A = this chain, B = another copy of it.
Amino acid sequence: MADIARRTEHRYGNRPTMKDVAARAGVGLKTVSRVVNGEPGVTPDTERRVREAIEILGFRRNDSARVLRKGRTATVGLVLEDLADPFYGPLSRAVEEVARAHGALLFNGSSAEDPEREQELALALCARRVDGLIVIPAGDDHRYLEPEMRAGVATVFVDRPAGRIDADAVLSDSFGGARGGVAHLIAHGHRRIGFIGDRPRIHTAAERLRGYRAAMEDAGLPVRDAWVSLGSTDPERVSTAVREMLAASEPVTALFSGNNRVTVTVVRALARHGQPVALVGFDDIELADLLGVTVVAQDAAALGRTAAERLFRRLDGAEEAPERLVLGTTLLARGSGEIAPSDV
């Protein structure tokens, strides 16, 4: 009596175990295990008895215990920036599909662009003994993951490279994409082009800025300080930047926006502005086609899929050296990037 009460506390709710099933079916523990795991060496008749007992008791194997014994959890963790950002949804889903194909479940967590939170999350996942980790870095120092990786946690970075460690990374060509997008504006006659991007400590933001500068330099165009604005993607900040660039002594005639969050706000700000201003944005956005917004699109799903495939290849024993894969971007001309400068 007291014994039952005591046990109950410790058990998940009050679940039957293989032992209980074995007792009920009048067989040994291992036989139950065999049936549950579809292993051979059980007569149809015993199997039937075991299955009956399972049914009656509502038994379900405790994978926690299994994991402890087997050493693999069939679980991967995905640390991203913000699950609510439409860019990460498809990426996450793509990772999930690959994980599913490999029989693994997926932990998801958002770092909220906070390096500490990223670390906390990644390490919590390691403590749960995920087999692998896919990380969209918020921070720029990932040495904290070295012991984990040495201990066998396969790790792939996506969207941004790891900092201060040598690890797989799957990236979009931010530099090339931005350079191409800005070149597109230049080809349409613009000479004063503004760049509004995310905080420069974010790798992709820095790369896109570099792409902008390269395109300007390629064309022999100067870049005024007033034409470059980096910072948070807060709508307030971005709107102000747009306003200032359009009102400067040498006003820009075109804008390049550094990511989807920025683009959304820029489109809104330009809608309020009287004159037409050309715009190319990095990242595609839903309904951007109807608004005629020209963008440099990256394939978020391909990013996730590629990273996950690489992860599972490593889990399957591949021992290749860490590698950096770069996926191309696509310029989608829809109108806003093809507006000629209004006052040349």
CA distance A276 to B102 in the complex (A): 49
CB distance from A220 to the nearest CB of B (A): 35
A83 to B84, CA, bound (A): 10
Residue of B nearest to A105 (CB): B107
Alpha-carbon distance between A312 and B153 when the two chains are bound, in angstroms: 30
By beta carbon, the residue of chain B nearest A152 is: B13
Residues of B within 8 A of A286 (CB): 86, 264, 285-287
Contact of A287 among B15, B88, B264 (CB under 8 A): B264
Partner of A83, one of B93, B105, B151, B264: B93
Stretch at the interface among A43-51, A119-127, A243-251, A324-332: A119-127
- CB of A60 within 8 A of chain B? yes
Q: Shortest CB–CB separation between residue A71 and chain B, in angstroms?
A: 5
Choose, from A61-69, A202-210, A228-236, the stretch at the interface: A61-69
Q: Chain B residues near A89 (CB, 8 Å)?
A: 83-86, 88-89
**Which chain B positions have C-beta within 8 A of A40?**
none
Q: Please, which residue of chain B has its CB at the minimum distance from the CB of A120?
A: B100
Cross-chain contact A127 with B60 (CB below 8 angstroms): yes
> Contact at A151–B13, with CB atoms within 8 Å?
yes
Cβ-neighbour of A285 out of B96, B126, B151, B287 (below 8 A): B287
0/1 string, A262-300, CB within 8 A of B gives 1: 001001100100000000000001111111000000000
User: Does A105 lie within 8 Å of B124, measured CB to CB?
Assistant: yes
Q: How far, in whole Å, are A124 and B61 apart by their CA atoms in the complex?
A: 10
The docked-state distance in angstroms from the alpha carbon of A205 to that of B73 is 38
Of residues 116 through 162 on chain A, the ones whose CB sits less than 8 Å from some CB of chain B are 123-129, 147-148, 150-153
CB-contact partner of A108 in B65, B106, B289, under 8 A: B106
| A96 and B108 contacting across the interface, CB-CB below 8 Å | yes
> Shortest beta-carbon distance, A24 to chain B, in Å?
15
Q: Is A309 an interface residue (CB 8 A)?
A: no
Contacts of A67 in B (CB 8 A): 64
Do B287 and A271 touch (CB < 8 A)? no
Choose among B13, B63, B68, B106 the residue that contacts A127 (Cβ–Cβ < 8 A). B63
Query: Closest approach, in angstroms, between the C-beta of A52 and any C-beta of chain B?
Result: 15
A267 to B62 CA separation, bound complex (whole angstroms)? 49
Q: Does A6 contact B (CB under 8 A)?
A: no
Is B86 a contact partner of A108 (Cβ separation < 8 A)? no
A277 to chain B, nearest CB (A): 15
Determine if A164 is an interface residue (Cβ-Cβ < 8 Å).
Answer: no
CB distance from A176 to the nearest CB of B (A): 26
Nearest B residue to A123 via CB reads B60
**Chain A residues engaging chain B, CB cutoff 8 angstroms:** 9-15, 58, 60-65, 67-73, 75, 82-86, 88-90, 92-94, 96, 100, 105-110, 123-129, 147-148, 150-153, 264, 267-268, 271, 285-291, 301
Between A and B, 6 residue pairs with Cβ closer than 8 Å are A58-B147, A58-B150, A75-B128, A83-B89, A84-B301, A271-B290
